[in-house]
Amino acid sequence: MGIFDFLSGEFIDVIHWVDDTRDTMVWRFEREGHEIKYGAKLTVREGQAAVFVHEGQLADVFTPGLYMLETNNMPVLTTLQHWDHGFKSPFKSEIYYVNTTRFNDLKWGTKNPIMLRDPEFGPTRIRAFGTYSVRVSDPARFLTEIVGTDGEFTMDEISFQIRNIIVQEFSRVVAGSGIPVLDMAANTADLGKLIAAEVSKALDGYGLTMPEFYIENISLPPAVEEALDKRTSMGMAGDLGKFTQYSAAEAMTSAARNPNGGGGMGAGLGAGMGMGVGMAMANQMNAQGGPWGPIPQAAQPAPPPPPPAEHVWHIAENGKTKGPYSKAALGRMAAANEINRDTYVWTAGQDGWKQADEVRELAQLFTILPPPPPGA
């Protein structure tokens, strides 16, 4: 991975790194048994950053370019001891190369279903998976927070932690979005941007960023998918009556093609379906009418008319309204001389107040009363 050019004794003059693994994020320039010579050449290629650590302290970060390791072009190092002595100190320095390119096509997925409240299905569970990319945005922070003194740090060592962050933020964003499950497929791009922004906030503390995040699939549990398929099939069938007739005709056709299959059971089933279809067609023809008009049916007695609704009455007495009273109650009141022919009465549907003698339904209450007794 590294190429060492020893140009003067035990000191290293040329420092550079060529990565051919595609998954190495950090590689430490091996310096065991060597000391970096004052004035050595440091080559940092595009897509790389070099972090210089001197005596255990992070001294400087080099971006792409060619550098001479001298104090006059490294102002951070001018305050560190031993640099003004031409690197003749026994203390050794280290250089870590950090890969700043994107690591693409990384997989993520929900290990367990995510619970959410769907506006249409109610409480339900979903699964999801997809891909993402990640890159180092702050080499110094990434080195101090994640890598430490690891001489070769690969993407696999941090991918599990990133997937946990993705699943956590995915669950929170999706559960709080309020988007129905059936509409999520049309909003995966917007959901992906929201989730990538939230994940990047957490990754920023590691010196990482997430340039891309993709949701490839969002699926429901098998039981919910089966119910959804049935609902879709019902919608495609349209008229269930016609769909039933069509299914019965297909079953009869299949039975006719295989007369020996199923024995008498198949024949009986086909005959039963045929009778059902025939009765359904006869009923339909009866409703629509034959070639000579509607098919007559046996006369059936008309249902009896509903009983008339009984009226209730209000009476006016001394400027006040009393009631309501039934006709039987008014009869008892007439027998007790509590009302007479001149008493004003009213019921729903009547045009204003009328005397009881003017209402045909109440007038008979006074005709059956006995005459006054003798001597009254």
Q: Residues 8-65: pLDDT tens digits?
A: 444 456 888 888 888 899 998 876 554 676 677 889 999 999 998 877 788 889 999 9
User: How many domains, the chain?
Assistant: 3
In a domain, 116, yes or no: yes
Whether residue 90 is found in the same domain as residue 108: no
pLDDT value at residue 111: 86
Classify residue 271: in a domain, yes or no.
Answer: no
Q: 113 and 208, same structural domain?
A: yes
- Residue 67 shares a structural domain with residue 157: no
Single-letter code of the amino acid located at 258: N
How high is the pLDDT of residue 53? 84
Has residue 343 been placed in a domain? yes
**DSSP 8-state secondary structure symbol assigned to residue 138:** -
> Over 50: is that where the pLDDT of 79 sits?
no
Co-location of 116 and 172 in the same domain: yes
In the listed set 163, 192, 219, which residue is the last one of a domain according to the structure?
219
| 246 located within any domain | no
> Residue 147 and residue 153: Cα distance in Å, rounded?
7
> Do 77 and 177 fall into the same domain?
no
Do 136 and 95 lie in a common domain? no
The domain boundary, picked from 198, 219, 240, lies at 219
Domain closes at, from 204, 219, 234: 219
Give me the mean pLDDT over the 308-333 stretch.
81
The range of the structural domain enclosing residue 27 comes to: 11-99
- Report the chain's mean pLDDT, rounded to a whole number: 76
Phi, psi of 37 (to 5 degrees): -80, 140
**Both 107 and 215 in a single domain?**
yes
Alpha-carbon span 97 to 140, nearest angstrom: 11
Confidence bin at 81 (pLDDT 50/70/90) = very low
Higher pLDDT, 255 or 209: 209
The torsion angles phi and psi of 207, rounded to 5 degrees, stand at 80, 20
256 belongs to a structural domain: no
Question: CATH number, domain at 176?
Answer: 3.30.479.30
| DSSP string computed for 189-250 | HHHHHHHHHHHHHHHGGGTEEEEEEEEEEEE--HHHHHHHHHHHHHHHH-SHHHHHHHHHHH
Q: Please check whether residue 372 lies inside any domain of the structure.
A: no
Residue 103 · residue 153 · CB < 8 Å:
no
Instruction: Look at residue 308 in the predicted model and tell me its pLDDT.
Output: 64
Helices 156-177 & 188-203, crossing angle to 10 degrees? 130
Contact 12, 32 (CB under 8 A): no
Q: Is 61 left (phi over 0), alpha (psi -120 to 50) or beta?
A: beta
Q: What's the rounded Cα separation, in Å, for the pair 137 and 156?
A: 18
Q: What CATH number does residue 363 fall under? A: 3.30.1490
User: Is residue 129 domain-shared with residue 149, that is, in the same domain?
Assistant: yes
Amino acid at 34: H
Q: For strand 35-44 and strand 11-15, is the pairing parallel, antiparallel, or unpaired?
A: parallel
Same domain? For 80 and 168 the reply is no
- Mean per-residue pLDDT for 182-190? 83
In a domain? residue 1: no
333 exposed, middle or buried (CB, 10 Å; 0-12, 13-18, 19+)?
middle
98 near 136, Cβ under 8 Å?
Answer: yes
Residue 324's pLDDT band (boundaries 50, 70, 90)? Answer: confident
130 in the same domain as 83: no
If pLDDT is split at 50, 70 and 90, which confidence band does 6 have?
A: very low
Q: What is the pTM of this model?
A: 0.54
Position 248 in a domain: no
Give residue 69's identity as a one-letter amino acid code: L
| Residues 75 and 123 occupy one common structural domain | no
As to burial, measured by CB atoms within 10 angstroms (0-12 exposed, 13-18 middle, 19+ buried), residue 185 is exposed
Which comes out higher in pLDDT, residue 125 or 78? 125
Q: Record the tokens describing residue 301, joined without a space.
A: 């007695």
Decide: residue 132, CB within 10 A, 0-12 exposed, 13-18 middle, 19+ buried: buried
7: pLDDT strictly greater than 50: no
Q: Are both 66 and 161 inside the same structural domain? A: no
